[in-house]
Every structure is written in structure tokens, then in C-alpha cells.
Structure 1
Amino acid sequence: MNGQPGTTRAAVVTGADSGIGRATAVRLAQEGLDVGITWHQDREGAEATAAEVRDAGRRAAVQRMDLTVLPEAADAVDRLAEELGRVDVLVNNAGVGTAVPFLELELDDVREVIDVDLVGPLVCGQRAAQRMIRQGDGGRIVNVTSVHEHQPRVGAAPYCAAKGGLGLLTQVMALELAEYGITVNAVAPGEIATPMTGQEDVDVLTVRRPGVPLGRPGDAREVAAVIAFLSGPGASYVTGASWSVDGGMLRMGPHAGSHLESDSWRRP
């Protein structure tokens, strides 16, 4: 899956104005891909990402995408692919969450989370896959889920439902798109130092997380490295998998996770 001879591969990364999306766009540019960047509210952030992509020697294109407006939002994938000449990689990264008890949820808020975190990636995945099939040389789709694809969290019912659904959608896409040489995988981050967790530009080595086996939150670039692997030739036989990038958080099981305040669980 290298594109036609003499062509440069191109990626579209949704929600690439900050955090994991920005780190992924820059990492893919460093790997030699041109990058299409979408943003919802932070155009300045998206342009800053584009500048980093260009500093890495690759072309960048920017489009606004509002995943609450479907299916029209996915038009941004087509516009970016047209501007860059093709699309070889789609990273469905844009997402939104809640912190509301189940009994207090409003239906409009639930629908917004489901649209952004599940239906949006489905529609964007369709658009990208259709183009990859016409191009005729395969492709890569990476859906950014969460550790809450696999484990629940109090106050996050719509988010967990959407991410769990996206995990199973990833598996169905992998089965159906394999015949076209398109691999589809999920990356499931744990606590990552991003604006979404209120830790933008934090040095993760200075933050103590006793409840995470590696003892700290993750850096967005650590997630981007896994996405880049799944987007490249080294992952040509990997499809339908969910890759946890969580410092071991999911392995904690009944020990709980990142909110623990002591290391007492480390001793029997």
C-alpha cells in the first residue's frame, strides 16, 4: 500500500487542531505523508498544525468539519482528498465526551456524542474507503477510540456507548474492506495529556499517577507513534485490532485506574 509509483501518500486526520490529532498529523508528515487537517472550533490551532506539517516538508490542507451536521460534515474528507490529490490514510480522531450522571442525561447531548464519536467516523470512513477503492491500491483507516471502548466510566454513558460501538464498527469495517487491501484498526488511548483532559503542554514525566502501572499520563506523541505504525507498511497484515495506549491502565481491572492516589495496590 504505497500508492502509485512517483506519488506521495496523503492522510486525513480529523480533529487535528490540538492534542492527539495534531501530534498524529505531524508524525505522519515526518513519515512522508501530505496531511489534510480538520477542525471544528479552533481554526488557529489547525493552522498551527498545518505549519508544523509544512515545516516537516510536506503539504498541508485545512478544512472545517462539524460532525453534528451529518452526512454533510464528511464532505470535508472529499475536499481534502481533492486538494491533496488522493487519500491513503484516514484517522478518525475528532471526538467529544460528557461528565453527566446517567439519570441526568439530556437526549440532545447523548445524540451529539453519538453523532460525533460514532456516526461521524462511520460516514467519514465510507467517504475515504470509497476513494481508496477507486485509487485501487489499498489504504489504512485508524479509528481513535478510548480505553472506554473496553471498560466503562461513571458519568460517561454516551461516550462509552459511542466508543464501544466504534470498536465493533472497526471490526466490521476490517472484515468488509479487507478484500480491497484496506486495513482498519482502533487505537484506544488512556489518560493522555491533551486539552481534553486539561493537561495541554504538560510534561507527563512530572505528573504522578499511582493508579497507572507506568505511573504517569501519556503524551499525545506516544499515541501518534502507534497510529503512524498502523498507517504504514509495517502494519500491512494487521487489521480489526484495538491497540490500547494506556500505560497499563486496562490491566488494572478491579484495582481501578488513573484516579488512585497511592501505590498500595503494588503490594499484596
Structure 2
Amino acid sequence: MSSQSSESTGPFRDLRSAEASGRPGPAVVTGSESGIGRAVAVELARRGHDVGVTWFRDEAAGRATAEEVRALGRRAELRHLDLRDLPAAADVVDELAEALGGLEVLVNDAGTGDGTPLLELSYDAWREVLSTDLDGAFLCLQRAARRMVAAGRGGRIVNITSVHEHQPRVGAAAYCSAKGGLGLLTRTAAIELAEHGITVNAVAPGEIATPMTGQEDVDPHTVERPGVPLRRPGDAREIAAVVALLCSPEGSYVTGASYAVDGGMLQMGPMAGSHMTSDDWRRP
């Protein structure tokens, strides 16, 4: 009969020890001035992480996120981040890690999109989306991973992609290309960084009630979406909960995965569409 040991091994042991001591390591959340990024920053703070917050357009909104983190008793550092200014913009990851005294978690949330049809899409608009959503995410991931490897304590990286990592949408060629690329970057990074105890995963939101979708301060439970099985958009806090799980000790054996948080929309295949206006699809 084989013997079993109750002692945990590997990065799970290290991260569980950190949690038991009440001191999860510092996290950096890009694009955290509003929407999903803010919800993630606040949820990680609620779970004990100090948080590096970044803002792009609205410094006051970034300060508001930082204040929410501090109100939970955690430390917050705030920096401006413009991922169109590459590679220099990725320096912010190192600046925040230095200010926070380390880096255990990176959440790549900063992103943009473009709704221009393919034949009308300019090269400049194409490059802005690819630069922000893919090039910028790569450079931030690389900076964070280098620090995690050097520290030797493992870590967590979560990339916020989209359901359009998995399925295309008319009028979103640049966005779909960037998010699809980020999905494969996630999987490649997962297998390369696994030996260092670093997990890399993606969370792929569907339509979420945020400023980016024109639904700031909207209760998603009051919005009807016949084309989504759960009949509504998502709440940014529902995305944050999945991100937090992947960053927790309980998520230590998950890597290279992409979690769709979309109210079931991807399960509809060719019937899918948050834009649908009737329930006709529910009947054969």
C-alpha cells in the first residue's frame, strides 16, 4: 500500500503559506480606472492583496479605484499607463512592483476596440488596437514574469481577453485578432512558465455592463438580452470573482485555460448574439 503525505508541495504550498499568514503578495491590475479592471482591483484588495492601479484617460477615476483599495485596508499605488507608447509603457509594471515591494499577481485588463468594418479599417486604427490589446499585454506579461522568476516564489498572471478570443464578430477584425492572439499567448506562456510555478490563464468576458459597453452604473439585471441564455449582460464583479479564484491558492493547478464568463452565449454557436432582440432562438 502506498503511503500518502499531507504536506503540500510546489507553488501551492508557497501560496497557501502566504494566505495563512494573512499576506497575499502584491498585484498589478492594468486598466483599473473603471469597469472590469476596477472590480478586479477591489476584489483582490478584499482578498488581502496590495494593488498597483493604472489609469489611461481619467486620473480621477484611477484615484477613486485606489481609494477603494485603501478603504479595504490595503496599500494602493497609482500610475499612468498608455499602451500605445511601447515598449516604454511597460516600465510601469516594474515601477509598481518596486513601489509595492514585489509582484505576485498581474492582471492584464487594459484594452481597446474598434467597430469599423474590415474594408474601411485604417492601418492606424488596426495598429492601435493590436498595440494596446496584444503588444502591450505581451510586454506587461513579460516584465511581470521576469520579476516572478527572479523572486522564485511563483505567481499568477491573468489576461482579460473576450468571447471574441474564441468566436469572431462582424466589424471587429482588429479586436478579434488581438484577443485571439492574446489567447494563444496565454497558452504558450503557461507552458513556458510552469516550471517556475507561474500560472497563466485567460478570462473571456461576454457583454459586461461597463463604460466600454456604454453601460456605466447600469444594473445588468435590469437589461434584457434575449440573445444571451441568462438573458442579461454580466456584472464586472462577476468577472472579478473568476479572476480572483485563478489568483488564489485554490487555483494553483489551473494554467493555460480560458474561462468564458458570458452568460452562456458561446454555447449557442451560430445562434449567439448579444444584439438579438427576440427569444425566437429558444424554440426549435
Q: TM-score range by the shorter chain?
A: over 0.9
| Alignment partner, residue 129 of structure 2 | 113
Choose which of 52, 62, 82 in structure 1 pairs with 2:68. 52
Structure 2 counterpart of 1:256 = 272
AA paired with 1:196?
M
Q: How does 1:23-102 map to 2 (within 5 A)?
A: 23-102=39-118
Q: What is the match of residue 176 of structure 2?
A: 160
2:158 aligned partner: 142
Once residues 6 and 47 of structure 1 are traced to their aligned partners in structure 2, the CA distance between those partners, rounded to angstroms, is 25
Distance apart, 1:6 and its partner CA: 7.8
Q: Per-residue deviation at 1:125?
A: 0.5
SS at match of 2:259: strand
* Alignment RMSD: 1.1
Secondary structure of 1:62 counterpart: strand
Q: Which sections of structure 1, spanning at least 5 residues, go unmatched?
A: none
Query: Per-residue CA shift, 1:36-87, capped at 9, x if unaligned?
Result: 0111111111100000000111000000011011111010000100010001
- SS of corresponding position for 2:159: strand
Report the alpha carbon displacement of residue 220 of structure 1 after superposing the two structures with TM. Answer: 0.2
Q: Which residue of 2 aligns with 1:190?
A: 206
Secondary structure of the equivalent of 2:232? Answer: coil
Percent of paired sites with the same residue: 66
Distance 1:86 1:8 in 2: 11
CA-CA distance at 1:231 after TM superposition: 0.7
**Among 21, 35, 60, which residue is 2:37 paired with?**
21
Question: Which residue number in structure 2 is paired with residue 235 of structure 1?
Answer: 251
Q: TM-score, normalised by structure 2?
A: 0.92
Aligned counterparts of 1:178 and 1:98: Cα–Cα separation in 2 = 34
Residues of 1 paired with 2:160 and 2:270: CA distance?
Answer: 25
Whole-Å separation in 1 of the counterparts to 2:22 and 2:39: 27
Partner of 1:133: 149
Q: Distance in 2 between matches of 1:8 and 1:254?
A: 42
Partner AA of 2:130 in structure 1:
I
For residues 217-240 of structure 1, what are the alpha-carbon distances to aligned partners after superposition, in whole Å with 9 as ceiling and x for unaligned? 000000000000001101000000
Structure 2 Cα separation of the partners of residues 256 and 47 of structure 1: 38
Distance of aligned partners of 1:6 and 1:258 in 2 relative to their CA distance in 1, 3 Å threshold: closer
Q: 2:23 touches 2:48 (CA, 8 Å); kept in 1?
A: no
Task: Tell me if 1:210 matches 2:226.
Answer: yes
Residue 255 of structure 1 deviates from its aligned partner by 1.1
1-structure distance, mates of 2:260, 2:59:
30
**Quick one: which amino acid aligns to residue 202 of structure 1?**
V
Q: Name the SS for the 2:65 alignment partner.
A: helix
Task: Give 1:254 shift.
Answer: 1.6
Provide the C-alpha distance between the structure 1 equivalents of 2:53 and 2:163, rounded to a whole number of angstroms.
24
Asked which structure has the greater CA Rg, the reply is 2
Mapped to 2, the partners of 1:136 and 1:102 lie a distance apart of: 45
Opposite residue 107 of structure 1, the aligned amino acid is: Y
Tell me how far 1:134 sits from its aligned partner.
Answer: 1.2
Q: Give the deviation of 1:8 after TM superposition.
A: 4.4
* 1:73-104 deviation line (CA, Å, top 9, x unaligned): 01000010001000100000000000101000
Cα deviations by residue, 1:177-206 (Å, 9 ceiling, x for unpaired): 000000000000000000000001101110
4+ long deviations beyond 3 Å: 3-8
